[in-house]
Structure formats: structure tokens, C-alpha cells
Amino acid sequence: MHAAFRFLDNPPSFMFFTGKGGVGKTSLACAHAVLLADQGRRVLLVSTDPASNVGQVFKVAIGNSVTAIPTVPGLSALEIDPQAAAQLYRDKIVGPVRGVLPDAVVKSIEEQLSGACTTEIAAFDEFTALLTDPQMLRDYDHIVFDTAPTGHTIRLLQLPGAWDDFLEEGKGDASCLGPLAGLEKQRDRYHAAVAALADPARTRLILVARAQGATLREAARTHDELTAIGLTQQYLVINGVLPERESALDALAAAVVQREQQAIANLPSALKALPLDQIPLMPFNLVGVDALRLLLQSDTGDAAAIVPAIPAIATPPLSDLIDEIAENGHGLIMLMGKGGVGKTTLATAVAVALAERGHAVHLTTSDPAAHLEETLSGSLALLTVSRIDPHAETERYRKEVMDTKGKKLDAAGRALLEEDLRSPCTEEIAVFQAFSRAIREAGRKFVVMDTAPTGHTLLLLDATGAYHREVTRQMADTQLHFTTPMMQLQDPVQTMVLIVTLAETTPVLEAAGLQSDLRRAGIEPWAWIINNSLSAAYPRSSLLRQRAMNERAHIAAVATQYAHRYAVVPFLAADPVGVIRLEQLTRPIL
């Protein structure tokens, strides 16, 4: 018997699960897809997240082609792989003109299509096909989307309108997208995608959040932004709520229950009118079909099985890493990892700790969904805070180009240049320039960067690598000394990459995958941080103890298989917001 969760009622053809990274979108999307398939529906589960882990959840290699899930009849899955999609997109654009146009022109088109922006557009191209392909709609009763973290999703969902506007104007050289004709052919499909997204009879959007003020405020912002672009059929799901029964005889659990219930009682006004469901926290990891089926059951049982006291283990504290970082006196500290593992909190804590040791620190973020000011909740001497705002950086870049290149053009030339700078790809270039400025600043002070969730960060690093290759090629015949951003990222004296994870199956596997990607780019991670560890907090609640015991194997794997050095940060009863609570994260464990 399954729970009468409102978001499950009369599901339409398309369901989108979205929200801040780490709130459980993938688990809920997978569980919902399994439930529909168990009811005899034909279901396609699609991940549009560059850092997808749907395959890990089902223990099946999926990838960029529709793959049947053997353990769930009627369910198939697809992971839109941005790199594979980009290659298919490039082949589609370049193939027809190869051998027709001069080789130099073909090479120029290929170079235009080599950037990170093209990767995003290619993923969007596949995304719109799923919404509009008649054959897909005949083959499947439902398509369930596990979307990328919020900032990236908003951009993806806005693209149908953005590219439609761009095509309507019909000017410019389409920048890194290649020939404009390649997009003109998609006009009808883009219109159909916009119509499907805006039709409440066909599309439902499930906002997933945790019972935390920050993620609920993020959900409210997402609600407003999606409503503004016509997606009005929205439901709110608060995931991973600790049952009140667990608070008996456990101060930590009692504090969590009180904090979560207060957050739910104080829902942002934008969310109060939405249908609301609460999903209880489970004592087990949501990996495998059996675990997914339990997630949406109406009766998850009474309190978890009685678990005895957890034996102590010796794990290095974050303060040890801070002490070693501080010895350098300056440098770039980049915190990377899957969305929702606590990068923003830990980046802020590291910045605060370095400033309190007397170092000048610049704390910045490239994450479109990050809120450093909310986490810091105050000011500190020697610490400055900034955010790489895509809109502000794009305007800055446009002005710079018009003031330099545009200065020498006539009126007609300036008009053409302005049109080209309205290409949606301009934003990617502008954000990369801001990223490069932050890297240069690290030569004289500490720059602590809270990066975007993994997939988006890798796209940014890909842009850095492309820039590095271009500069190296141009400078090869000169005697001038030069340093590109990628060279600095690859220099372990200048840059320390801290991989943040949780002691759970999927986050650790995701972090290991990130480490492999970084190594392929010539960047060696300096340390790992295991955040929010219940094992290090020694709870008394049976449910929390069960989750804590599950952590031990993952902590051991990080210590012995993955990390040169690592630290474990215990789960705190109170949200680590404000300087005083942030300091608790970087104090030696007594």
C-alpha cells in the first residue's frame, strides 16, 4: 500500500523533479518512476544533470541511449551526457558541409563548436526532442525528468524562450553555435517545447527541498522563476524529514526535529499555496530498487531497529587541513563536489578560519544558486565576499567589448557587434573572465572559491582548458613568459582543490568520479572533506545511529582508497550559519 502523496495523484505525461543540489531529486524521481512502472505504466526516466547518478541508483550502466532497467519491467532510463550530446550536435552541424565548403571554413565552424556553451545547447537539443517527439509519446505513458541543480535547471528551462527570441531577431553570427540555419530548422520544435512546458495538463513540476530555511528559500525563488516562464503546475515535496519519535532521549535528534518543524511552519509565502508532501528520513541509503520501493510506502514502520552505542573512531578534524593551508600564506582554495554536500558552508568556514589566523581572504562563488552572505551572516576583518553573477559579468563583458572593439566601428558595425553580443553564449565567456580574475588575485592573498555543482564546474574547467590551449598555440613562437588559468590550477603550490562529500554511497562515488576528471585535466586534488558526519556526532537516536553505522565503510574508503589527506566534519545540531557556528566546524575535536 503506497502513501497518498499529493504529487503522485493523476500524473501527467511529463514530471520534472527539481531543487537545490542534494535535496533528494534523484531518489524521488527514481522512486516515482519505479512506482509508475509497478502500476503497469511505460516509463522513461531521464536525467538532464551533467553530474547524473541515476545509473548508480539502479546499479546499471545507462549513458546517452535509452536503456531498459532489468529489475523493473516497463522502466527505461536515459542520461543526457553533455559531452556525447555535444559531439552528436557537432556532427549534425558539420557533417553536411564537410567536403562542400573549403577546409578552412569547416575548421572555423568546428572551432566555434568546441566551447562549453555548445555542450549546454546540445543537451538542450536532446531535451526538447523528448518533449516533442511523437514517437516518444507513443512509446511511453510518462517521462520523468531528474533535472540538474536549480541554477542550471532554470537556465535550461528558460532556453526555449531565449533561443526562440534569438531566432526571431535572425541576426548575428550565432557565435559558438555554428551556422544560424542549424537553429532555424529547430524553430517549430522549440515552439512545441515551450507549449508542452507551459501546459498544466501535460507537465507537472515537483519542487524538492529539505526542511531547512536555505533550501526552502531556494525553492521559493525557483517557484517564482518558473511561474514567470509559464510553468504553473507545481508541487512541493519536503524530503528527509526526521520523525518526531526519534527525538526521545537524544538531544541531537531533538534539536534537528525542532529545527525542521520550525522551518516547515515558517514556509516562505510563495510556497504556502502549493500542494505539500513530507517524506520521512530513511535509515538506509537509497540505492537499489528495493530501497526505492520503500521510499514512497505509506507505512515505513515504527522506530528503526535498536542500534547499540557507536564505537569511537579516530578521524582527522578540518582544523588540521586549515593549519596546513595557512602555511602557504596565499593561494587559490577551490571546494568542489556534488550539489548539496555543503560546499558553500565549508568554503565559508575555511575562509573565516584563515581570516582569523590573520590572512587576507577573498571568498567568492561561481555557483548560480549559492548564498554566501546568508551563510556568513555577518562580517569579519580581512575577509571580503563576492559572487560571480552571470548577468552582471555579461553586462561588464558587453561594455568592455563595445568600448574597445566597438570604438573603431561605424554605426552599422557597432549595431552588428551589439547583436552578436546578445547571443546567449556571451554569458559563458563573461563568467570565464571573472573566474580568471579570481585566479590571478590568488597570487597575493587567499581566494576561497565555492564552485558550482560538479557538472557545471567541469564545463567551466573545460573552458579554462580551451583558453589554455589557444594561448599556448599563439605563444608557441614567442619568447614571452605566460601563465594561463589552467597552468595555475595545475600548480599544487598555487591551487588546492578540496573535494567535499558525504559518507554515503552516491556522494562518494560522485566525488571519486570528479577526482578522475580533474586528474585527466592535470589537476591533482589536495584533500577530501567528509561533511555532516553522524558517525562523528555520536547520536543516540536509533535511526540516526543506523545511518551513522552505514557511514563507517564510506569513511574508510575515502581514507584508504581515494584521498591523500582528508578530514571529517561532524553533523551539528544547529545550522552552521554565522561566524560563531562556522568556527565550530574548524575547531580541533577534543
CA angle (375, 493, 459) in 5-degree steps: 60
Q: How far apart are CA 173 and CA 183, in angstroms?
A: 12
Contact 64, 81 (CB under 8 A): yes
Q: How far apart are CA 355 and CA 377, in angstroms?
A: 15
Q: String of b and e for 206-233 (b: at least 16 CB within 10 Å)?
A: bbbbbbbbbbbbbbbbbbeebeebbbeb
363 φ/ψ sector (left φ>0, alpha ψ -120 to 50, else beta)? beta
Cβ within 8 Å of residue 24, ≥6 positions away: 208, 210, 239, 240, 279, 286
Q: How far apart are CA 89 and CA 125, in angstroms?
A: 8
Provide the annotated active-site residues. Answer: 22, 24-27, 49, 506
The closest of 530, 526, 534 to 556, measured between CA atoms, is: 530
The span from the first CA to the last CA of the chain, in angstroms, equals 48
**DSSP output for 17-29:** EE-STTSSHHHHH
DSSP state of 91: H
The closest of 368, 372, 371, 369 to 383, measured between CA atoms, is: 372
Contact 249, 540 (CB under 8 A): yes
Pairing of strands 75-79, 43-47: parallel
